Amino acid sequence: MAEQAAPGTGFSFTKICVDDLERAASFYAGVFGMKEWSRHESPTIQEIMLKSSDAPAAPTLVLMKPIPAPAIVIGTGHGPIGMIVADIDDVVARTLKAGGKITKEPYGMAQLGIKVAFVEDLDGHAVELVEMVSR
């Protein structure tokens, strides 16, 4: 059996590099309803922290831009950002309207009781959309 984590330990945030912080924040706000939680700036990095909830412990998506900013290269060392959505078709439409791309149209996975789609944000980061439906 796995050892218990220390109290207060848990998933907190994911960071992604973006070319334009304001444009990326606008995309995630417009498509997913995320809200700016805070900002951080130093001589070597700029960050905008976004949350889907006002709860301080809610997971955070951190948009980051190193200074100087290298070219963004999307690699294979991670999977997509996962988002639970209420209406997958609406989120797909908002993604397109905001300038994102659809990489896999919505499809059902009845055995799991979900609909799934895959999109890309303005910097090419993959986002997996999951809508809970009845089994």
Domain assignments of the chain as residue spans, ordered by start = 12-70, 79-135
| Beta pairing class for 81-85 and 126-132 | parallel
The pLDDT of 65-91, averaged and rounded, is 92
pLDDT band at 121 (very low <50, low <70, confident <90, very high): very high
The C-alpha R_g of the chain, in whole angstroms, comes to 16
Q: Which CATH class is domain 12-70?
A: alpha beta
Burial of residue 102, with CB atoms counted within 10 A of its CB: 0-12 exposed, 13-18 middle, 19 or more buried: middle
Round to whole Å and give the CA distance between 27 and 97: 10
Instruction: Give the percent of the chain with pLDDT over 70.
Output: 95
CATH superfamily of 79-135: 2,3-Dihydroxybiphenyl 1,2-Dioxygenase, domain 1 (3.10.180.10)
The pLDDT of 10-35, averaged and rounded, is 94
Round to whole Å and give the CA distance between 30 and 104: 20
Of the listed ranges 3-7, 50-54, 78-82, the least confidently predicted one is 3-7
